[in-house]
Amino acid sequence: MATDSKSVDGYEPYYVPEQSAFPILATIGLFAFVFGLGTFFNEMQAETSGSGRYISIAGFLILSATLFFWFRQAISENMQGMNSMQLKRSYVWGMGWFIFSEVMFFAAFFGALFYVRNFAGPWLGGEGDKGVHIALLWENFKYTWPMMETPDQVVNGAKAAFVGAGEGNSLYPADAHNGLLHWLPLYNTIILLASSVTVHMAHVGLKNDNRSAFKGWLFITVALGIGFLFLQYMEYHEAYVDLGLTLESGIYGTTFFMLTGFHGFHVFLGMTMLLIMLLRAQKGHFSHEDCFGFEAASWYWHFVDVVWVCLFFFVYII
């Protein structure tokens, strides 16, 4: 419901939406998606077939449909002028906390990578006071990075199948097969940095009431996001097929695919958000006074770019 006019004590009208089933439906869809993915990965590990993939697909469809109708309703309410400045400020805070939660999400993975490389790995190799005792469990294990085999694989004589290791980092362009001019992570870094500039130019165009520039730069940003995802697919294909790097390739294979895979999913999410903003722009949505939907998507895109720069440095370089 909404009040008809500004109250006498100075408070602005505040639109209160009706009760909705969208939150519970989104929760069900997200739970089914994550549960299905976990089940599917366990089935892959056990080399069995089951319902994991179907549960994850169903959960993804439920979540996607719920978000579509939910955001469509929110957009319609804003276009009708129902959203007050107080509500819009809550949107800003909500997006800020969402991006902060994503920062913490990736910080956990980067923290795990740091811990393995600087503490757990050396301890397993016998370094330090703790390492002296831990190394007694796997006497033949010597720590090197990238860590392509577990201590059990070393003791049991089962070597990892990965064959693309260069000096210092598995995917660093140290061999002829993966030379610098054909190094896909470098291309993807250039693409994402360029996309951060183009989305800013789109914002500038909107603020200057230049809608053709706004839509043009936004279209280029979406195209660059799609290009990034395509190159990441090529990188994964090369890693799996040509180099033999898999999730089972020691702790390096696990951390590599977890970090780059989750980041790729976030790029897909950010690209989808910007694509929706582009479709809305084609319908005449947004003005330089009312454009938080686009601004929120652009904030998220800049966040994705910053994460990739950190990932590029810590995973591919050092």
Check which CATH number belongs to the domain holding 48 and give it: 1.10.287
pTM equals 0.82
Token representation of residue 131? 């390492």
Contact criterion met (CB below 8 Å) for 171 and 255: no
170 is written with which tokens?
């598995």
**Residues 197, 264: one domain?**
yes
62 and 180 together in one domain: no
Q: What pLDDT is recorded for position 143?
A: 77
* Residues in contact with 237: Cβ distance below 8 Å, sequence separation at least 6, in sequence order: none
- Surface-to-core class of residue 227, CB atoms within 10 Å of its CB (0-12 exposed, 13-18 middle, 19+ buried): middle
**163, part of any domain:** yes
Helices (H), 182-249: 184-207, 211-237
Distance CA 283, CA 111 (A): 44
Same domain, 26 and 148: no
Residues 142, 72: one domain? no
Which pLDDT does position 308 carry in this prediction? Answer: 95
109 and 177 share a domain? yes
Is there a domain that residue 5 lies in? no
Q: Which residue among 31, 60, 77 closes a domain?
A: 77
Angle at 229 between CA 227 and CA 233, to 5 degrees: 115
For residue 38, the surrounding DSSP H or E stretch is helix 22-46
273 & 176 share domain: yes
Single residue among 33, 53, 77 that ends a domain in this structure: 77
| Domain annotation covers residue 261 | yes
Structure tokens that stand for 167 in this block: 């000096």
Written as one string, the DSSP assignment of 39-73 is: HHHHHHHHT---SHHHHHHHHHHHHHHHHHHHHHH
Residues 59, 110: one domain? Answer: no
Residues 65 and 152 occupy one common structural domain: no
Cβ-based neighbours of 176, under 8 Å, separated by 6 or more: none
In CATH, what number is assigned to the domain containing residue 279?
Answer: 1.20.120.80
Peptide bond before residue 151 is cis, with ω within 30 degrees of 0: no
CA-to-CA separations, 24 to 20, 21, 27, in angstroms, rounded: 9, 6, 5
- The dihedrals phi and psi of 283, each to the nearest 5 degrees, come to -90, 5
Query: Quick one: pLDDT at residue 295?
Result: 94
DSSP state of 178: G
Number of domains in the chain: 2
Q: What is the pLDDT of residue 4?
A: 44
The answer to whether position 300 is within a domain reads yes
DSSP annotation of 119 reads I
Position 165 scores a pLDDT of 46
Structure tokens at 102: 């994503």
User: Does one domain contain both 207 and 305?
Assistant: yes
Q: Which domain holds residue 151?
A: 86-317
pLDDT in tens, the chain (318 residues): 444 445 446 677 777 777 899 999 999 999 999 999 999 988 887 888 889 999 999 999 999 999 999 999 988 888 888 888 888 888 899 999 999 999 999 999 999 989 988 888 888 777 766 666 665 666 667 777 777 777 766 666 655 555 554 444 445 444 434 455 467 888 999 999 999 999 999 999 999 999 999 999 999 999 999 999 999 999 888 888 877 777 777 788 888 888 999 999 999 999 999 999 999 999 989 888 888 999 999 999 999 999 999 999 888 887
Q: Are residues 125 and 267 in the same domain?
A: yes
